[in-house]
Amino acid sequence: MDFTVKEYSTYNDEEILNLYRSVGWVKYVNQPEMLKNAYANSLKVFGAYENEKLLGIIRVVGDGYSIIFIQDIIVLPEYQRQGIGTALLKRVLDTYERVYQKTLLTDNTERTIQFYKSLGFQMDTEIECRAFTKMR
């Protein structure tokens, strides 16, 4: 499959909400203004495109030096398992290669665990840490 990864520079409500809706992330879809502000205040956002169609997105927050947090990585379901998520994540890892800590929070499924491990990530328990999250 031919696609390109490039910086996502112009926020488009329709395509972003469609992407989040397609993977069932309705808590984001139900708060479109929050999502728009989150994108505006992100450190970096990359999109994967087939021609002009947005197939996937990855959003990064943090300071860009000591830590980045990979907040969202989403690929349209019909395009998953075709290398798009890997390409998006590799673009972030290349862009922030020198950053000390690269962190993300994901579903606890064998599929997602193996995906992130294949790209060099370790679970918090493997590095004698514990992650904590407080959700509103």
pLDDT digits (tens, 9 = 90+) for 20-67: 999 999 999 999 999 999 999 999 999 999 999 999 999 999 999 999
Parallel, antiparallel or unpaired: strands 101-104 and 53-62: unpaired
pLDDT at 7: 97
Structure confidence by residue, pLDDT tens digits, 77-90? 999 999 999 999 99
Q: What is the pTM of this model?
A: 0.92
Distance of CA 31 to the CA centre of its chain: 18
Domains present along the chain, CATH in parentheses? 4-105 (3.40.630.30)
CA distance 125 to 61: 23
pLDDT at 107: 85
**Which of 123, 1, 114 lies closest to 56 in space, CA to CA?**
1
